[in-house]
Amino acid sequence: MDTPAAPPPDLLLADDGYPAPSGVARRPAGTAESVRANRRWWDAAAPAYLAEHGGDLGDVDFLWCPEGLREAEAHLLGEVAGRRVLEVGCGSAPCSRWLRREGADVVALDLSGGMLARAAELNRATGIDVPLLQADVGALPLTSASVDVACSAFGGLPFVADVEAALAEVARVLRPGGRFVASVNHPMRWPLPDSPDPEDLRVVSSYFDRTPYVETDEDGRAVYVEHHRTVGDWVRAVVGAGLVLDDLLEPEWTPGRTQQWGQWSPARGALVPGTLVLVCRKPA
């Protein structure tokens, strides 16, 4: 599996290193537009994102969410030693390297060549070489029933237009009895302001409005797309893909954790959930 080189950013970057949109809209955005936009955004944003969050993510660690839940304590994936594991939306792949260190046979998948280029650098730096695959979760280049476990730790699912098709792909590549665990933005995040300050906790849009959030460039083309689903939508998508939903977790903020991620903060995390974790399995 060849590792793509980091592409040069083709988006205007703000002073903080992240892409600077020319406009923001709430409008429909299908699969092709979402894939194209988010690949460009993450390619351009990878250096800034990892400079900001890489220390918390670690090079060989499995962090499920900004609240600080880690697989070493949560054991949501069960025993991974000797298991074939697929990570969806791996970013710089710290979770996959952690899984490899625990004895798993891992494939780390991401849409962004920029993220995978950094993952390759960290593979070399840590001496933990996990295979890296650039692909879209909606069309996994893996054979059916070829993995024992699949996971996505705040990976690509919130950016996927057709999450039902993506989950069906995950179910396809899982072996009977296989487990799938994914952490996503909690749906309650959608109607609230994008602020870590609890004083800003007020409803500013409808929880039931599924219209995507779209950032655009100077030509009106989408450069970032995020899709919203209610809790019920997630449950129906899991069940519709032929998976069994064993648990829904809403992690509380880890005591003593001071790290802030965008609107995720200790003060806000004490009041409202920021993450939803779907714990699923494919029937044996």
- The CATH number assigned to the domain holding 32 equals 3.40.50.150
Is residue 18 included in any domain, yes or no?
no
Q: How far is CA 38 from CA 97, 151, 229, in A?
A: 24, 20, 18
Q: Domain range holding 186?
A: 23-281
Percent of the chain scoring above 70 in pLDDT: 97
Could you read off the pLDDT of 128-165 as tens digits, one per residue?
999 999 999 999 999 999 999 999 999 799 999 999 99
pTM passes above 0.85: yes
Q: What is the pLDDT, as a whole number, of residue 155?
A: 77
Query: 207 with 191: CB under 8 angstroms?
Result: yes
Q: How far is CA 116 from CA 74, 109, 267, in A?
A: 26, 8, 33
How, if at all, do strands 147-153 and 174-185 pair?
A: parallel
What number is the average pLDDT over the span 67-96? Answer: 98
What number is the average pLDDT over the span 154-179? Answer: 96
Count of structural domains, the chain: 1
Is residue 10 included in any domain, yes or no?
no
Is residue 126 included in any domain, yes or no?
yes
Is residue 13 included in any domain, yes or no?
no
Q: How far is CA 239 from CA 144, 163, 203, 213, in A?
A: 19, 12, 29, 26
Is residue 4 included in any domain, yes or no?
no
Is residue 16 included in any domain, yes or no?
no
Could you read off the pLDDT of 17-70 as tens digits, one per residue?
999 999 999 999 999 999 999 999 999 999 999 999 999 999 999 999 999 999
Is residue 14 included in any domain, yes or no?
no
Q: Taking 60 as the threshold, does the pLDDT of residue 2 lie above it?
A: no
Is residue 9 included in any domain, yes or no?
no
- Burial track 132-164 (b if 16+ CB lie within 10 A, e otherwise): bbbebbbebebeeeebbbbbbbbbbbbbbbbbb
